[in-house]
Amino acid sequence: MKKVFQYILILFITAGYSFAQTFESSVDRTTVGQNERFQVYFTFNGEDINKLKNFRPPSFTGFRILSGPNQSTSMQIINGSVSASITYSYIITAPEHGEFKIDKATVSYEGESYETKPLNIKVVKGNSQQPQTQGNNQSGISEEELGKNVFIRAIPDRRSVYKGEQITITYKLYTRLNISSPQISKLPAYKGFWAEDLESSNNISFDIEMYEGERFRVATIKRVALFPTQSGDLSVTPFELKIPVLIKKRSNKSVFDDFFNDPFFSRTETIEYMAKSNTVTVNVKPLPGSNVPESFLGAVGDFAFSATIDKNNVDANEAITLRVRVSGRGNIKLLDLPKVNLPPGFEIYDPKISENINRTGLVRGEKSAEYLIVPRVPGVKEIDAIKFSYFDPAKNKYIELSSSPYTINVNRVEGIVYDNTTNGFSKEDVRLLSEDVRFIKTSSVEFVRKSDLSIINSWFWYSLIFPLLILLFVLGIQKKREKLHGNVQLMKFRKAEKLAKTRLKAANKALNENRVTDFYSELSQALFGFLQDKLNIQKSEFTLDRAVSVIRNKGVDEELINRVNKIYDQCEFARFAPKVEIAESAPEFYDKTVKVIVDLEGAISSKGKK
């Protein structure tokens, strides 16, 4: 049995080794015009191309060879593994129209023969491309012709999703021409979506792909995960790139044209071409309205939930740590953690929130909260089970997860006097008890009349002077307030600036630590958080379009609304732009964002008073 297993293992190893070698054929297009030039490629991929022998091209029956075989090689080393390829290319033409076949090519590698698959070519009368029109460039190539050879495709992984479910859009650049470094002209607008840029390589690399029967060099330039925040038919605007295209200049026809057609002798010019992707339309379905758990806060995806407490037996006033954790696939950034309900006699502090997000493909990660709770009243207390629910699009149903209830034994501490009347009351109830009339002593009290008058003490004079000082202080405050009311803009600025600094604290920290990408993300969330609170819009229902509509209805100036849109656009642009450029403008952009929030606070508040 052991020998059989060894034979099977060797068989799999040798089979995997043989599969490492491939020999394939391709053409730059499968439909060509009569007498039109096109290229044929025969590519061998393997570990050591020096062992390649006896390349035999097909007969090319029905075609005329203009150039070839032209040979090119490439080599890659990835994690210590070496791979190489060699390509034999031909430039050919078809004198007659009709259906033709390019037969298989063969090659030998380490004594084994490899062959390509035949290629079918359709030859039509005239030219397969649209006639060229003389434009503003000397090459005479038209915009339509450029559009067929250089373009961007926005490819969504799905067209119909639920609200909050992830859509991944991949932007690919297709080209059959020589191009140089593209420049971003306009980023897509994701209105109605929360967008998360997926991680990708900083270097653009091209691969060979066939699209609609033609061969292109293709590079992935951007991948983004979108989470719809509203239902209905939503659209993603095109991604625009300004691409320098190198075009060979055309000369007058002569008998030497074929000879000087070699790229070494040709002259080229650069044409700035604006490439636009297609508009992507997605149908977003609302979440089901039936069987919705009470604990549902808008989470969509596939999650796991846990809640732990560090101890169950404590002394009064001893701190307890409660940890709540949600992990899985979905929009972790906007995920709301479940609320913790404590029985009377406990005091809870603001939680410490932490998150870890993986943006390589489907967005996944974890979000956790750490609560510090302090029991103030001794006794046996029970914390109700903590519940978390989400909607699973794959199962098309709501799922509720729950922890077990926690029993806490709070021990009485010697030396501390507990008021039994407060036992079982919350912190707010205890505070109210201090406002009631409490009898300190009910026994008889003997009053003694003091007949002799002592000399007036110093506190008597203080009691006369102190009200005068308070009066002067109040008059000073009133005078300063009247001065501020005289300068309404200054008063609004101070009030809004205080609120803006509080919300932008995280962004300012990221800027000081030179975390530029986090800075723009925090800045965007600070602006959105301000609008959510100011306009009373739930986080799960918030979109920039809705916020703009509300403030426009409040009579806010269009100039201020345009500034809000510019802040949003630049935050989105910063996710894709080079880090050096956005780092240089970050401090100025921070000041602009503060000023926009300040002006929004003043404008919205003034309209509300009217």
Tens-place pLDDT, residues 349-402: 888 899 899 888 888 999 999 999 988 888 898 888 999 999 999 999 999 999
- Calpha distance 240→235 (Å, rounded): 15
Residue 423: its pLDDT value, please? 46
| pLDDT bucket at 452, cuts 50 / 70 / 90 | very low
- By the 8 A CB rule, do 164 and 298 touch? yes
For residue 475, give the nearest of 483, 464, 486 by alpha carbon: 483
pLDDT (0 to 100) of residue 287: 92
Residue 282's pLDDT band (cuts 50, 70, 90) = very high
pLDDT exceeds 70 at position 301: yes
Distance CA 101, CA 98 (A): 10
Query: pTM to 2 decimals?
Result: 0.53
Measured distance CA(146)–CA(276) in Å, rounded:
12
Most confident of 150-159, 555-564, 573-582: 150-159
Q: Tell me how far apart the alpha carbons of residues 520 and 567 are, in angstroms, rounded to a whole number.
A: 10
Sheet holding 313-315, edge to edge: 313-315, 406-411, 379-383
**Model confidence pLDDT, tens digit, residues 376-388:** 888 898 888 999 9
For residues 579, 581, 586, 588, the Cα torsion angle rounded to the nearest 10 degrees is 180
Over range 428-440, report the average pLDDT: 44
Q: What local confidence, expressed as pLDDT, does residue 390 receive?
A: 93
CA–CA gap between residue 528 and residue 506 (Å, rounded): 14
Contact 196, 225 (CB under 8 A): yes
At 258 the three-state DSSP class reads coil
Which of 28-42, 70-84, 308-322, 556-570 is most confident?
Answer: 308-322
**How far is residue 607's CA from residue 440's CA, in Å, rounded to a whole number?**
53
CATH class of 21-124: mainly beta
What pLDDT, on a 0 to 100 scale, did the predictor assign at position 502? 66
Q: Which pLDDT belongs to residue 79?
A: 54
Q: In which band, very low, low, confident or very high, does the pLDDT at 127 lie, cut at 50, 70 and 90?
A: low
Check pLDDT > 50 for residue 568: yes
- Taking the C-alpha atoms of residue 499 and residue 179, their distance in angstroms, rounded to an integer, is 49
Whether residue 461 has pLDDT greater than 90: no
Dist CA 329 CA 63 (whole Å): 55
Looking at residue 88, its pLDDT comes to 83
Between the two ends of the chain, the Cα-to-Cα distance in Å is: 90
* Those residues with Cβ within 8 angstroms of residue 318's Cβ, 6 or more apart along the chain or in another chain: 374, 375
Separation between Cα atoms, residue 508 and residue 512, nearest integer Å? 6
Q: Is the dihedral of CA 315, 317, 318, 321 positive or negative?
A: positive
Rounded mean pLDDT, 415-444: 47
- Tell me the domain boundaries of the chain: 21-124, 143-285, 297-411, 485-609
At 535, list the tokens.
């306009």
Question: Mean pLDDT throughout 85-95?
Answer: 83
Average pLDDT over the chain reads 76
pLDDT band at 51; cut points 50, 70, 90? confident
pLDDT attached to residue 322: 92
Q: How confident is the model at residue 135 (pLDDT cuts 50, 70, 90)?
A: very low
Cα within 13 Å of Cα(240), Cβ side: 8
Only one residue has tokens 């915009």, namely 143
Lowest mean pLDDT among 39-43, 65-69, 126-130, 237-241: 126-130
Could you tell me which of 191, 196, 243, 193 has the C-alpha nearest to residue 222? 196
For 494-541, how does the pLDDT look when each residue is reduced to its tens digit (9 = 90+)?
A: 554 565 666 677 777 777 777 777 778 777 877 777 777 777 777 767
The percent of residues above 90 in pLDDT, for the chain, comes to: 16
pLDDT of 500? 61
Q: Per-residue pLDDT for 579 more than 70?
A: no
Query: What's the average model confidence in pLDDT over 179-200?
Result: 85
The answer to whether residue 304 scores a pLDDT higher than 90 is yes
Q: pLDDT: is 105 or 428 the higher one?
A: 105
Predicted local confidence at residue 132, as pLDDT: 40
pLDDT at position 426: 44
Choice among 137-141, 282-286, 333-337, 419-423 with the minimum mean pLDDT: 419-423
Domain covering 143-285: architecture: Sandwich (2.60)
Between residues 281 and 600, which one has the greater pLDDT? Answer: 281
pLDDT in tens, 137-169: 445 567 778 888 899 999 999 899 999 999 999
Task: Express each pLDDT in 316-351 by its tens digit.
Answer: 888 899 999 999 999 988 888 998 888 888 888 888
- Residue 247's beta-bridge partner residues? 269
Confidence of residue 114 (pLDDT cuts 50, 70, 90): confident
Q: Which CATH number fits domain 297-411: 2.60.40.740, 3.40.50.300, 3.40.1210.10, 3.40.1130.10?
A: 2.60.40.740
pLDDT recorded at residue 82: 63
Average pLDDT over residues 83-101: 82
pLDDT band at 302 (very low <50, low <70, confident <90, very high): very high
Q: Do domains 21-124 and 143-285 have the same CATH topology?
A: yes
